Amino acid sequence: MIQTRRLESGITITLIHQPQATQAAALWRVNAGSLHEPDPWPGLAHLLEHMLFRESEGYRDDERLMRWVPDQGGRLNASTRLCQTAFFFEVPAQALAPGLSRLTDMLAAPRFTPAALMQEAQVIDAEYRLLAQDAATRREAALLALMAGDARLKRLRIGNKTAFGEDPARLRAALTAFHERHYHAGNLHLWLCGPQSLETLEKLACEAAARIRPGVVAPLAINAHTGASGALAQPGFAQLALSFLLPAAVRPALRLLEQCLRSEAPGGLMAALRAQTLIDDATLEADALDDDTLWLRFSFALASDAVNPAHVEALVRQWIAALAALPEDALSPLLRLAEEDVNALAPMDHLRARAFGLPPVEGNALRPLLAALLAQHPTRLWISPEVHGAPVTTQGLTLTTGDFPAAPDDAPPVTPFTPAPHFPPPLAVALPGDSASLAWRPEAVSITLTLEPAPGTLVSDRRGMELLARLRPLCDRARLSGGALRVGTVEGRWRIALCSDEALMMMLVTEMMTYLWEPDDRYSAEAERLAARAQAQEDQAIAVRRLLAQLPRELLMATGGPRAQAWQATLDGGGPLLRDALARRLSDFPFPLVTPKPPRPLPAPHRFTLPANGADSALLLFVPLVASQREAATALQAPFFQHMRVANNIGYVAQCQWHTCAGYEGLLALLQSPHLSPDALLHETTVFFERQGDAWRAVTQKAWVGSVAGEGGEQ
């Protein structure tokens, strides 16, 4: 049940009653972002986001939201966007009221102490230097520069030390003025979600709203246009970005459009572009640009630099036209999947989708959306390491830009798109006489088949990507038939998991064997590209993410046998007839199936290092523990952040949490710093744990340690 209304003060409240939920969430959205900043203070909205988490008049030290939410076992975050900023958290349902009180107080009555202000300015400066090399940040900046009829679209958004200056009094005055101008009742929308009744949620919302001062909305209108084309030099793989400016009213159709875009059914866009070896992936993103305009972006990962992006664009337009020609109910299966995706979101993620992401599908907005797309010439950006051009500066970033490739002389052939999802009838294949090893746990309520590498088997990303490439269409078929087939990495290991009723299970496993044995070199070539792309993206990621990606490989290599490729299969639920039939069908699985065993014991921990890809240094510690130690380890999360990030400003990444990886679990600590070396970070971490009592005093001696030594690290 959902209820939205506008209070007399001007605040809009949206209340979502989820009777089965155990968690609750709150989100305040402020209609003010980086485009609202005064020209002399670029990055001010981002700085304000950081400062609001420091202290407020009502809650300080351990009682403030940043410390309090982790202590409740919850999570929190914030996001500064073009014309909006959002603050949100999720906690156990009974903690919603005290959490909302803290969240509201930090928006209504923040404290901007000079010391905290300059500290956060340093953190943002480090973040700026990090994001200056981020591929997505640079792509977005290049697109906005092509669209800019307004100088604000080219202005620095992240913020940095130069923009903030060295005078805390001036910076505090500017921040206070920005807060007073935009953080008022006329500019705020509150979302609450949880198992509480609508009456209870409304009471909480009204109490929170009463603490927000009144104010008058300042309209925002941005002069932007589409139709320009350009190219951006960037290492890695080739991409095409198509950017549209649309009326905000079409936003409720975006999630359905995303389902249509990513569908792998025959006749859809992805199937056609993959078959022609044009693209390997596609994504859709959207942001509010101003009060009335939505900025929509399609991004396509091109199969190679040789693919002409104009060819892909022409096929995309053909596909949009085919979508627009469909009858009203033709996309109802994809509409159901869109609704399932929203319903599967955790409360906080559900609120984020409604506030600034892809909201639930409402009304009949798809046809107006498609009509607007067809009527507009998009902004086009080709991204490739092969681009040669001149350096330009925009949003504080130096980009090398050039010309968009010319369209091919011959127009691409008309592709007979049939975007309504449809699959051919399933195959009828006799069961083999042999049976594979299949563990069975009949007590489970839902039926799930899990296939994963046996202990000691390390599946390469290239081999895993081929499994994904082969089974991707079957994943769509499973969902459209009421089941779920997932292929990907879980805790750092490749896994195939299938959930459905018994009849669908047998049909899908039969189809799976056909897909896995299909003699088609296209899958091998696609797997090579996908693995290379994943490695390139990992190499360009921030240091802590690279260490986190490497950790499961280190654990698996330490426990793996030479050239082992055995897998294991487990059936949860179902009856003996299903078990026997699946065991026979799985005898056709491409890898030998063995009796499931627990993970092998880990050897003595060791230290691994990765090469630097920037100025930052980073440290990872993983301490294998038993499940009974989880609560004690989780309790260290807030003190670790307070000590590293707030009290000592070690760096802008400071995390300590329970972590499961490659079948092992334990304590994970992550640090990234622009000014300390890995050895210095390890020393600070050792000092922290020594202060936590005897149980943690020698914990770093038992840890697997990963490090990156950046160019800017000091001992």
In this prediction, residue 675 has a pLDDT band, given cuts at 50, 70 and 90, of confident
Condensed to tens digits (0 to 9), the pLDDT of residues 251-309 reads: 999 999 999 999 999 999 999 999 999 999 999 999 999 999 999 999 999 999 999 99
Question: Which CATH number does the domain housing residue 671 bear?
Answer: 3.30.830.10
The Cα-based distances of 154 to 47, 399, 626, 643 in angstroms read 18, 12, 51, 37
Does 197 map to a domain?
yes
Average pLDDT for 518-534 = 91
Q: Which of 178, 80, 67 is nearest to 131 (CA)?
A: 80
Quick check: 106 and 95 in contact, CB under 8 A? no
In this prediction, residue 618 has a pLDDT band, given cuts at 50, 70 and 90, of very high
330 CB burial (10 A radius; 0-12, 13-18, 19+) = middle
Does 107 map to a domain?
yes
Average pLDDT for 528-539 = 91
Decide if pLDDT at 715 tops 60.
Answer: no
Which of 210, 238, 270 is the endpoint of a domain? 210
The Cα-based distances of 104 to 53, 183, 211, 657 in angstroms read 11, 11, 7, 26
pLDDT given at position 697: 84
Q: 3-class DSSP state for residue 393?
A: strand
Average pLDDT for 539-556 = 92
Asked if residue 377 and residue 247 are part of one domain, the reply reads: yes
Average pLDDT for 398-422 = 87
Q: Which of 310, 511, 333 is nearest to 420 (CA)?
A: 333
Asked if residue 124 and residue 188 are part of one domain, the reply reads: yes
Does 430 map to a domain?
no
Does 411 map to a domain?
no
Decide if pLDDT at 647 tops 90.
Answer: no
| Rounded Cα–Cα distance for residues 612 and 542 (Å) | 10
Decide if pLDDT at 602 tops 70.
Answer: yes
Average pLDDT for 319-331 = 93
Asked if residue 557 and residue 446 are part of one domain, the reply reads: yes
Decide if pLDDT at 655 tops 50.
Answer: yes
Which of 353, 386, 402 is the endpoint of a domain? 402
In this prediction, residue 313 has a pLDDT band, given cuts at 50, 70 and 90, of very high
Average pLDDT for 551-559 = 90
Q: Which of 225, 223, 59, 85 is nearest to 147 (CA)?
A: 225
Which stretches of 276-308 are DSSP H helices? none
Q: Which domain holds residue 521?
A: 439-594
**What dihedral angle (degrees, nearest 10) is formed by the CA atoms of 384, 388, 394, 397?**
70
Average pLDDT for 319-337 = 93
Asked if residue 241 and residue 204 are part of one domain, the reply reads: no
Decide if pLDDT at 679 tops 90.
Answer: yes
Asked if residue 447 and residue 379 are part of one domain, the reply reads: no
pLDDT given at position 714: 56
Q: 3-class DSSP state for residue 415?
A: coil
Decide if pLDDT at 519 tops 90.
Answer: no
Total structural domains in the chain? 4
Asked if residue 33 and residue 160 are part of one domain, the reply reads: yes
- Write down the catalytic residue from 37, 49, 258, 684: 49
Which of 594, 622, 656 is the endpoint of a domain? 594
Condensed to tens digits (0 to 9), the pLDDT of residues 185-216 reads: 999 999 999 999 999 999 999 999 999 999 98
Check residue 618 and report its DSSP letter.
E
Average pLDDT for 317-328 = 94
Does 432 map to a domain?
no
Q: Which of 427, 434, 425 is nearest to 585 (CA)?
A: 434
Does 216 map to a domain?
no
Decide if pLDDT at 646 tops 90.
Answer: no
Condensed to tens digits (0 to 9), the pLDDT of residues 113-155 reads: 999 999 999 989 988 988 898 899 999 999 999 998 899 999 9
In this prediction, residue 372 has a pLDDT band, given cuts at 50, 70 and 90, of very high
| Rounded Cα–Cα distance for residues 661 and 350 (Å) | 27
Asked if residue 590 and residue 610 are part of one domain, the reply reads: no
Check residue 575 and report its DSSP letter.
-
pLDDT given at position 563: 65
Asked if residue 34 and residue 169 are part of one domain, the reply reads: yes
Average pLDDT along the chain: 93
pLDDT given at position 25: 98
Question: Which range is least confidently modeled, 90-94, 104-108, 563-567?
Answer: 563-567
What are the DSSP calls for 661-715, one per residue? ETTEEEEEEEEEESSB-HHHHHHHHHHHHHTT-GGGTTGGGG-EEEEE--TT-B-
Does 235 map to a domain?
yes
Q: Which of 158, 90, 150, 155 is nearest to 120 (CA)?
A: 158
Asked if residue 203 and residue 78 are part of one domain, the reply reads: yes
**Token pair of 10 as six digits:** 């001007």
Does 487 map to a domain?
yes
Quick check: 243 and 227 in contact, CB under 8 A? no
| Rounded Cα–Cα distance for residues 576 and 569 (Å) | 15
Condensed to tens digits (0 to 9), the pLDDT of residues 156-165 reads: 999 999 999 9
pLDDT given at position 561: 65
Asked if residue 246 and residue 178 are part of one domain, the reply reads: no
**Token pair of 659 as six digits:** 């972590």
Quick check: 35 and 162 in contact, CB under 8 A? no
Quick check: 126 and 674 in contact, CB under 8 A? yes
Quick check: 547 and 669 in contact, CB under 8 A? no
Average pLDDT for 560-589 = 91
The Cα-based distances of 602 to 52, 70, 73, 554 in angstroms read 43, 30, 29, 11
Asked if residue 274 and residue 164 are part of one domain, the reply reads: no
Proportion of the chain above pLDDT 90, given as a percent: 81
665 is catalytic: no
Asked if residue 621 and residue 587 are part of one domain, the reply reads: no
